[in-house]
Structure 1
Amino acid sequence: MPDMTVTHEALMTVPLKLRLVKVLTAALFIVPVIVMFFSLRGVDMGLFMITQAIFRAGVITLEVPTGYLADSWSRKKTLLVGTMFYATGLGVMLFAYGLGMFIVAELLMAVGCVMYSGTVQALLYDALSALGKRHTARAELGKQRQWEYLSEGFSMVAGGVLFSVAPELPVLLTLLCFLAALGVLMTLTEPQRKVRKSENHLQDLSNVVRYAVHGHTEIRWLMVYPAVLMGTTIVPFWSAQKLMTDYGVSSEVFGFMLMANFLLRAVSARYAEAIERLLGLRTLAWLLLPAIISGFVILAVVQSPLAFVGMVICACSWSLGNIVFTDLVNRLLDEHAEDGDASDIRATVLSVFGLMQQLYGMAGLLLAGWLSPVVGIPATLLLIAALIAVAAMVPLIKVLQLQTFNKR
């Protein structure tokens, strides 16, 4: 249960501490070299894609139940447990060899990942609401993502350098950062809020999911459209690492390239609100589709290190779209709550949003894992881009017809 006697001063520290937690958990030193690390431990590119699809399957299975757990139990405790699971997964990965142990590591990290999904954002909104600053949520989320991406950018460079010293160092340092995040979370104050209570949790969970998917048309399409676009951007992210290696890019140089990518993502996150005001919500919404499609095409067609630009376009589009659409969903939840406070279902609904992205991501990874050994990565990327264009068309039309978009 949240602390019912929290002070204003304690609440003021919540956004900053959440930012610090995101900085620490975003320092994934293993990411720029993970394909090479798996390869050294007996897992090739095709099997790597399968491990990532299994990770997504674990996330999909637990995404919504863990969001409901955060609503009905405690946001802080959910984050603590999630951090411990992720750290344990990293510990297994450190000593893993062969497909089986890596699958165990990925599943443990999947549990940790889903306990963060939706919970951090819900906790941030709770704190800002308690402080009377709910209107600053999009700007604060942008700042949080900015520092998160800066941390990721730094870890990309450091990971490449550390890997050249010893392949295990990136995993070890990532593990230490998660242990540090655990320490920060222990000092976090959870705001007072409505807590989800029910005698039949399974039925209650089903009701909340039904509300998000079927009960509210605007919320449904505000989640489906970005999920189609952004869920599949994980494919160019992993594909770029293999392509850059094929083009002769060293792990150290690739680390610097990823740092540049995350710096640009940080800029797009920090100025997401300003970009939306400049372009308008309708224009921004439809521009995301050709932007992401062009990213896939560039990565597939440009057969040199310059192809990396395509991955950057996809990543920045994801960053911008995720912030804007997450805030829209949160605003609508509060607008349609009976007392103007949707904190008792917020994490669950945001987890449904995350689930939709994970479903499309898993489908993309499975397709890439199956096709890339047969037709090659470039052809696979072009096919997935075509499928995205088709799948996103109806959701885009529905989104542009929503009252929310006609008001802004």
Structure 2
Amino acid sequence: MGSSYSQNIFRLYIIKCAKWFMLVMPIVVPFYQDNGLSMHDVFFLRAIYSVAIVLLEIPSGYFADVWGRKTTLVAGTVMGAVGFGIYSFSYRFGEFLVAEMVLGVGQSLISGSDSALLYDSLKAEKRESEYLKLEGRVTSIGNFAEAIAGVLGGLLATLSLRYPYYGQTLVALIGVPAALSLKEPPRDDRHAKPGWKDILQVVSHSLVENKKLRTAILYSSVIGTATLTMAWFVQPFFKEISLPLSMFGVLWTVLNLLAGLVSIIAYKFEDALGQKRTVFLILVFITGSYVAISQTMTVWGIAILVIFYFVRGIATPVLKNYIIQYTTSANRATVLSVRSFVIRIIFAGVGPFLGWYTDQFSLGSALAIAGMVFFTGGFIVLLPFLQNRSRMRQANQ
């Protein structure tokens, strides 16, 4: 029985690879611009993607809790393949918009369900204490996949900016059989009365009633939005410093490979630094990198990106683990979806403005503003977050 749930881990690795083997990421901004889009259009499309996720993010997490994580993961992988299939044969903003909405729905179905299924698979074998280590490993798999895809996507783009999208459709299809072969782990606390009222109760519990969980979600969301936004500034920065297109994929690979390697040992950094220092340094280095790059719009800015992605590798599994500790198996996927919901809401509001500001003024000034905004937001929620962690540690002692 136990070994069958262990096999879920390998299948989640495959789903993670299919999701993050992004051949298109190193060249997506040049692809948009080649089809006549401005930076405002680029960030607007990403905002629409975020809105599509927002509309289904929490309901999809809830459906995963009620109907099963496997069902939502299967649906999410299918939608991902369909979305990139649409992209492959699209040339106009409106067509890209449809593709982004489909991809947003697919992403919302996967988000939270994969981590919840991982935790419950471990719990079925009484190995839940290994969650942080394995979540870091799953995260690193995604980073490794994105890194390798960066090189291949960059090479394909030298032939045609459209070739990476053809390949991406095939890659996305790989996740479908992996999702179909998952085994749903048992849960001891299912929802008694499934429905929208129950969803609202979970959201209220996460963002209003449970102060510890609320601050963990908000802080993780601010950092998550900062890392997401930087991903969309990297390519314009490469273009700003006149980096050859063929090098986009190489550097994208190096950065994501670094984040993946660090994710594997993220728990060791937390053990060595302690929880307070870890969350504080994450805020300082993530937001400080924005400001530093804005003042170094040369090839030396790549060194700052290295630091940023190093810290990103620590932040993703560590902050997600903080949220996991405050949830139960009945609501775990829903609560993780609340986090993703908050990230997408913030990005939908901030992203288009930063894109417009880049078009109207400069990339450097937009980066500086982004850094200050994220630092302010993170600092506001950081103090109560640290207080909650201190109380939890005292209670455990």
TM-score of the pair, normalised by structure 1: 0.93
Query: Structure 1 CA distance, aligned partners of 2:248 and 2:356?
Result: 25
Query: Structure 1 CA distance, aligned partners of 2:39 and 2:376?
Result: 28
Residues 280-323 of structure 1: CA deviation (Å, up to 9, x unaligned):
11111111111012210122111212213333433333332221
Residues 135-170 of structure 1: CA deviation (Å, up to 9, x unaligned):
100111111111211111000111000111222221
Q: Is the 8 A contact 2:54 2:344 kept in 1?
A: yes
Q: Which moved more, 1:167-176 or 1:204-213?
A: 167-176
Query: Structure 1 CA distance, aligned partners of 2:305 and 2:229?
Result: 9
Look up the match of 1:3.
none
| 1:187 equivalent in alignment to 2:181 | yes
1:400 aligned residue (378, 386, 394): 386
Residues 345-403 of structure 1: CA deviation (Å, up to 9, x unaligned):
11001111111222222222122122111111110111121122222222111112111
Query: Structure 1 CA distance, aligned partners of 2:194 and 2:252?
Result: 46
* Cα 1:309–1:226 shift into 2, 3 Å: farther
What pairs up with 1:345-384 in 2 under 5 angstroms? Answer: 345-384=331-370
Query: Structure 2 CA distance, aligned partners of 1:186 and 1:400?
Result: 40
Counterpart residue type for residue 80 of structure 1: V
Q: Which moved more, 1:166-175 or 1:273-282?
A: 166-175
* Cα 1:296–1:405 shift into 2, 3 Å: farther
2:144 aligned residue (143, 150, 165): 150
Q: Is the 8 A contact 1:282 1:405 kept in 2?
A: no
Unaligned runs of 5+ in 2: none
Query: Structure 2 CA distance, aligned partners of 1:289 and 1:197?
Result: 36
Query: Structure 2 CA distance, aligned partners of 1:184 and 1:226?
Result: 29
Residues 16-44 of structure 1: CA deviation (Å, up to 9, x unaligned):
11112112221010000001111222323
Unaligned runs of 5+ in 1: 1-6, 334-341
| 1:126 equivalent in alignment to 2:120 | yes
Q: Which moved more, 1:119-128 or 1:360-369?
A: 360-369
Q: Is the 8 A contact 2:157 2:164 kept in 1?
A: yes
Equivalent position SS for 2:326: helix
Q: CA deviation at 1:197?
A: 3.5
Q: CA deviation at 1:198?
A: 4.7
Query: Structure 1 CA distance, aligned partners of 2:84 and 2:264?
Result: 30
Query: Structure 1 CA distance, aligned partners of 2:32 and 2:215?
Result: 38
1:108 aligned residue (102, 123, 143): 102
Q: Is the 8 A contact 1:73 1:195 kept in 2?
A: no
Look up the match of 1:336.
none
What pairs up with 1:148-227 in 2 under 5 angstroms? Answer: 148-194=142-188, 196-199=190-193, 201-227=195-221
Percent identity over paired residues: 24
Q: Is the 8 A contact 1:93 1:101 kept in 2?
A: yes
Q: Is the 8 A contact 2:154 2:245 kept in 1?
A: yes
Q: CA deviation at 1:324?
A: 1.1
Q: Is the 8 A contact 2:283 2:378 kept in 1?
A: yes
Q: Which moved more, 1:226-235 or 1:344-353?
A: 226-235
Query: Structure 2 CA distance, aligned partners of 1:376 and 1:279?
Result: 37
Q: CA deviation at 1:216?
A: 1.0
Query: Structure 2 CA distance, aligned partners of 1:308 and 1:361?
Result: 24
* Cα 1:364–1:393 shift into 2, 3 Å: same
Q: Which moved more, 1:304-313 or 1:234-243?
A: 304-313
Residues 212-269 of structure 1: CA deviation (Å, up to 9, x unaligned):
1112111111111121222122222211201211322122211111111011101220
* Cα 1:12–1:229 shift into 2, 3 Å: closer
Look up the match of 1:263.
257
1:9 aligned residue (3, 6, 17): 3
Q: Which moved more, 1:300-309 or 1:55-64?
A: 300-309
Equivalent position SS for 1:332: coil
* Cα 1:356–1:147 shift into 2, 3 Å: same
Counterpart residue type for residue 10 of structure 2: L
Query: Structure 2 CA distance, aligned partners of 1:221 and 1:121?
Result: 20
Q: Which moved more, 1:56-65 or 1:269-278?
A: 56-65
